Amino acid sequence: MSLYKVTIIGSGNWGSVVAKLAAVNTLKYPSLFDYKVYLYVYEEIVEGQKLSEIINTTHVNVKYLKGHILPDNIVAIPDLFKACVGSDILVFVLPIQFIPNVCYQLRYRVKKTAIAMTMIKGFNVEDGRLSLISNTIRRELNVPCAALMGANIAEGVIREEFCEATIGCNDLQHSEIFKKLFETKYFRIRCVPDEETVEMCGALKNVIALAAGLVDGSRAGSQNTKATIIRLGFVEMIEFCKRYFPNTRLETFFESCAIADLIASSYGGRNRKVAEYFANEPEKTLAELEEEMLQGQKLQGPITAANIYSILERESEVEKFPIFRAVHLTMIKKIPVSEFMLCVQNHPQHSIL
Ligand SMILES: NC(=O)C1=CN([C@@H]2O[C@H](COP(=O)(O)OP(=O)(O)OC[C@H]3O[C@@H](n4cnc5c(N)ncnc54)[C@H](O)[C@@H]3O)[C@@H](O)[C@H]2O)C=CC1
Ligand SMILES: O=C(CO)COP(=O)(O)O
């Protein structure tokens, strides 16, 4: 049997960590995987040098994951097509902003038998309707696509702190291959046959993480308030999934991709952190704060909040999701941060006996 060739598409904060996980396992399973892991790097000049060359010579992603040495069987490639040609496993770990263009460039150009995975936490709206990233990948590349999501803040995983992740994959054989590719003793994986819910949870939790950051920043309340926002947010996540994916399985919400990621992201994570500053810096735009605080890394929560709002508004359902609504309107400065809590105080949950 020929060896699976692996390409990681995206070399940001998480993409670099994921490349490390894969590079450790391609060496661990030499009869299954080609030992080299190909990493597509969107080329940038950092202190006068090409980022791809820095990664290949120093094995450090000095822009997105400073201070951590990556395995030397990771090969950084700045040409998207060259990075993916002949690959059997394509792992998408780019900010959602760049996915349409990347998929478009790869159209008709990947191996017919390839399998894909998305680790992107977001979704798109196409013709007014919700469209999963995995669907875009399936449609544009004509390959199956699973999802891996979880409570996986990159900084913790690169330090090899114990955590879990969830693979959503409806094909048992593919689940086994992906698990072998990413699982380590500190990164434990559970596979569930509920692709859509796993992917949706990764996207939706970012909006609740923004809400948690707004609570922290505006000092609208203490830990009690934040816990309430997280609980109500969790309920909205479940209701939203049930509404748009009627086959969603309730048990998936107890996996790392849902409850655990919601908690991790509401206490750590970039969405929470930027929202906290946003609440305190009324004269600055979100884009300015994102640039200043993240230096090239990207937030996914605000785009997802906007997407949710547009879908719900189209169906006159916005009022049923007060946290999703209030986060979006606050982040686009349609309502002041001081009103954020007022918007969620009449949550439909409180009219249920
Ligand atoms: N950072 C984290 O802790 C985690 C992130 N994720 C998710 O993984 C996805 C990727 O996130 P990160 O790796 O953290 O990325 P990041 O936030 O570090 O973003 C930077 C990435 O964007 C790329 N980029 C910049 N301009 C580009 C362009 N014009 N075309 C193509 N690529 C361009 C950069 O090369 C780099 O790979 C996101 O959806 C995120 O939510 C998931 C779990 C953990
Ligand atoms: O998804 C994440 C952790 O699981 C990272 O979240 P942030 O993008 O908010 O940092």
Q: pLDDT in tens for each of the 353 residues of the chain?
A: 799 999 999 999 999 999 999 999 999 999 999 999 999 999 999 999 999 999 999 999 999 999 999 999 999 999 999 999 999 999 999 999 999 999 999 998 999 999 999 999 999 999 999 999 999 999 999 999 999 999 999 999 999 999 999 999 999 999 999 999 999 999 999 999 999 999 999 999 999 999 999 999 998 878 999 999 999 999 999 999 999 999 999 999 999 999 999 999 999 999 999 999 999 998 999 999 999 999 999 999 999 999 999 999 999 999 999 999 999 999 999 999 999 998 888 898 988 66
Quote the tokens at residue 294: 């993240």
Please name the residues in contact with 202: beta carbons below 8 A apart, sequence gap of 6 or more.
120, 121, 122, 147, 149, 257, 261
User: What's the confidence (pLDDT) of residue 353?
Assistant: 66
User: What's the confidence (pLDDT) of residue 46?
Assistant: 97
- CB-CB neighbours of 221 under 10 Å: 14
Active site members = 205
Q: Is 109 exposed, middle or buried (0-12, 13-18, 19+ CB in 10 A)?
A: exposed
213 is in an annotated binding site: no
Q: What is the greatest pairwise CA distance in the chain? A: 63
Helix axes 286-294, 270-280, angle to 10 degrees: 130
User: What's the confidence (pLDDT) of residue 221?
Assistant: 79
Q: What is the DSSP letter of 246?
A: T
Atom from ligand 1 closest to the CA of residue 51: 35
The CA 6 to ligand 2 mean position distance, Å, reads: 24
168 is in an annotated binding site: no
DSSP alpha helix (H) spans, the chain: 13-28, 51-58, 80-84, 99-106, 133-141, 154-158, 172-182, 195-218, 223-244, 261-267, 270-280, 286-294, 301-314, 322-331, 340-344
From residue 6, alpha-carbon distances to 22, 72, 337 in Å are: 8, 15, 45
User: What's the confidence (pLDDT) of residue 282?
Assistant: 87
User: What's the confidence (pLDDT) of residue 314?
Assistant: 96
List domains and CATH numbers for the chain: 4-193 (3.40.50.720), 197-351 (1.10.1040.10)
Helix, strand and coil in the chain, % to nearest 5: 55, 15, 30
Please name the residues in contact with 204: beta carbons below 8 A apart, sequence gap of 6 or more.
236, 237, 240, 241, 304, 308
Atom from ligand 1 closest to the CA of residue 157: 3
> What ipTM was predicted for this assembly?
0.99
User: What's the confidence (pLDDT) of residue 276?
Assistant: 97
Does this model's pTM top 0.95? Answer: yes
Cα 353 versus chain centre, distance: 36
Q: Is 64 exposed, middle or buried (0-12, 13-18, 19+ CB in 10 A)?
A: buried
What amino acid occupies position 162? Answer: F
Spatial distance between the Cα atoms of 25 and 73, rounded to a whole number of angstroms: 11
What amino acid occupies position 292? Answer: E
User: What's the confidence (pLDDT) of residue 36?
Assistant: 98
14 is in an annotated binding site: yes
Compute the residue count for the chain. Answer: 353
Residue with CA at minimum distance from ligand 2 atom 8 = 270
